[in-house]
Amino acid sequence: MAESCTAANGDKWEVYRSTASDWRWRRTASNGRIVGASTEGYVNKSDCIANARRNGMSCSPS
């Protein structure tokens, strides 16, 4: 199950569990192209969100 939010610039941020059951994030531009993604999986969702914030996420996924 993915959780998502939309930033003020229109980019969509998603936090989701991969097929390996680790947490990952991805950033999709308003044109539908993926413009960013986590380079590793995280055991804890909070660590994944912290990494996404370091990479520019300003909204809160729910």
Residue 16 has pLDDT above 90, yes or no: yes
Residue that the structure tokens 């969702």 belong to:
45
pLDDT in tens, 17-59: 999 999 999 999 999 999 999 999 999 999 999 999 999 999 9
SS3 label, residue 27: strand
Domain 3-54 listed as CATH 3.30.160.160: yes
Beta partners for residue 24, in sequence order: 16
Whole-structure pTM value = 0.92
Measured distance CA(19)–CA(16) in Å, rounded: 10
